[in-house]
Amino acid sequence: MSDAGTSGAVGPNLDDTKMTADEIEQQIINGGGAMPPGLLQGEDAKSVAEYVAGAAAQ
């Protein structure tokens, strides 16, 4: 995520995601691919999802 000054080699490029904040939150909670489930829950998952969705929309 260029907004956070980071880059990674595993997983999708989050700068290009078209997922909604709700979809991202579900991915955080449920995991998928190389991402394990349950890394964050509740308001933490929601806050990160909103940040990612907002940063990707820029």
Cα 38 to Cα 55: distance, rounded to the nearest angstrom: 22
In a domain, 7, yes or no: no
DSSP for the chain? -GGGT---SSS--GGG----HHHHHHHHHH-BTTBPTTSS-HHHHHHHHHHHHHHHT-
First to last CA, the chain: 11
Count of the separate structural domains present in the chain: 1
For residue 32, list its beta bridge partners: 35
Mean pLDDT of 26-52: 94
Residue 24 lies in a domain: yes
Domain hosting residue 34, numbered range: 18-58
- Mean predicted lDDT score pLDDT of the chain: 86
Where residue 24 sits, what CATH number does that domain have? 1.10.760.10
Q: Convert the pLDDT of each residue in 32-41 to its tens digit.
A: 888 899 999 9
Res 53 pLDDT > 60: yes
How confident is the model at residue 12, as a pLDDT? Answer: 74
More confident residue, 44 or 3: 44
pTM over 0.75: yes
